[in-house]
Amino acid sequence: MNIRALHYFIETVKQRSFTKAAEQLGVTQSTVSKMVRQLEDEFGEALIIRESRQFLLSDSGKVVMERGLEVLHDIERLQAEVHATQSLQQGVLRLGIPPMINLLFTDVLNLFSRQHPNIQLHIQELPGPAIEQQVASGKLEMGFSISPVAPGLDINTRTVVSHSVWALAAENTFKSKQDKISLDELAPLPLIFLSDEFGLTRLLRQAFAQMSISPRVVAQSSQWDWIVSMATSGLGVALLPEPFLSRLAQTPAQVAQIVEPDLKWEVTHVWNSAYLSLAAKAWLSCCETVLGGQWIPPALLDS
């Protein structure tokens, strides 16, 4: 249906005159008549009875008038909502953040909430691989995971943060003043991993496999702080990203950076299409402000 023709018809009925409707709309009477006739052609019958000196509507005309007012109201509301979305006055962002890395985004969340209080932020706290699956299925618009991302998924990826992986253990576990350690040196030691659903564990198992080493894993947990407690108690060596070392406070522990190979804990931005909503770009912009670097993919800056 031609919405402009519907608008002209409704104005004509309100004014009960083609001439007065043309004056209100700022067009010629012939334009109004043409538009109304076009609407009648679409419905296949007359909506306004022209033979009478009175201004009368046919039965169909009455229905079009009543429902047409609702249509125009809905269109106005639609336009208002689109404009609000474009100005980030409303919207919804469905985002996935692994529990392992949520501490990186605390300040980002505070900034986003202050700048865009009307955006509904739905955060799913899931391990990286689960977030990858949810992004691929469209349940989440975007999220974050840890490289390497599972192959074969129809998602886009971009590394946004990179940190070294460190070994953490009770004091005197490693050689005196040793601040670097290789996977070969870790191989005979009891190791403590995060649960298998975490991206860091996927990275570590892949690294050991590439060196044909079978790691001696004595414990696994989904809670990084419990992993630290087990390691500092002497149960084994925990393998964690560098940012978590700063949260140890006064906990007595020995730490060493893993080298040979130089493992990188890479936070990866994942999304499932060539388009990111304005709300998603606003979140990434806050990430850039707080954490530095370029988070919005260059190809999507102007899309």
pLDDT, one tens digit per residue, over 107-124 is 999 999 998 888 888 999
The pLDDT of 200-206, averaged and rounded, is 91
Measure the CA–CA gap between 128 and 199, rounded to whole angstroms: 6
The pLDDT of 41-52, averaged and rounded, is 87
Asked if residue 84 has pLDDT above 60, the reply is no
Could you tell me the pTM of the whole model? 0.62
Q: What is the pLDDT of residue 29?
A: 92
User: Which pLDDT tens digit goes with each residue over 259-295?
Assistant: 988 899 999 999 987 678 888 888 998 999 998 888 8
Measure the CA–CA gap between 269 and 78, rounded to whole angstroms: 32
> H or E segment at 135?
helix 128-137
- Residue 132 pLDDT class (50, 70, 90 cuts): very high
Residue linked to tokens 């947990």: 221
Asked if residue 23 has pLDDT above 70, the reply is yes
Q: CA angle at residue 271 from 145 to 247, to 5 degrees?
A: 25
Question: For residues 51 and 265, which has the higher predicted lDDT (pLDDT)?
Answer: 265
Closest alpha carbon to 222 in 76, 111, 98: 98
Q: What is the pLDDT of residue 102?
A: 82
The pLDDT of 130-155, averaged and rounded, is 90
Q: Is the link from the previous residue into 148 a cis peptide, with omega within 30 of 0?
A: yes
- Residue 209 pLDDT class (50, 70, 90 cuts): very high
What are the structure tokens assigned to 149, written together? 């991302």
The pLDDT of 9-23, averaged and rounded, is 91
Q: What is the pLDDT of residue 85?
A: 59
Q: What is the pLDDT of residue 108?
A: 93
Long-range Cβ pairs for the range 152-157 (8 Å, 24+) = 154/272, 155/270, 155/271, 155/272, 156/270, 156/271, 156/272, 156/273, 156/274, 156/297, 157/268, 157/269, 157/270
Q: Cα separations (Å) of 180 from 25, 227, 253, 254?
A: 78, 20, 15, 11
Q: What is the pLDDT of residue 81?
A: 64
Closest alpha carbon to 198 in 153, 131, 255, 264: 131
Residue linked to tokens 């576990």: 173
Q: What is the pLDDT of residue 172?
A: 87
Instruction: Please report the DSSP string for 152-168 in residue order.
Output: T-S-EEEEEEEEEEEEE
Asked if residue 254 has pLDDT above 60, the reply is yes
Q: Are 165 and 263 in contact (CB under 8 A)?
A: yes
Asked if residue 30 has pLDDT above 90, the reply is yes
The pLDDT of 169-179, averaged and rounded, is 85
Domains and CATH numbers, the chain: 3-86 (1.10.10.10), 91-147+275-300 (3.40.190.10), 160-265 (3.40.190.290)
Measure the CA–CA gap between 286 and 224, rounded to whole angstroms: 26
Closest alpha carbon to 215 in 235, 245, 185, 242: 185
The pLDDT of 132-150, averaged and rounded, is 91
Asked if residue 87 has pLDDT above 60, the reply is no
Q: Cα separations (Å) of 146 from 66, 99, 152, 265, 288?
A: 56, 12, 16, 7, 18
Whole-number mean pLDDT of the chain? 87
Q: What is the pLDDT of residue 212?
A: 93
- Beta strands of 99-252 (E only): which ranges? 119-124, 142-146, 156-169, 180-182, 191-194, 217-221, 237-241
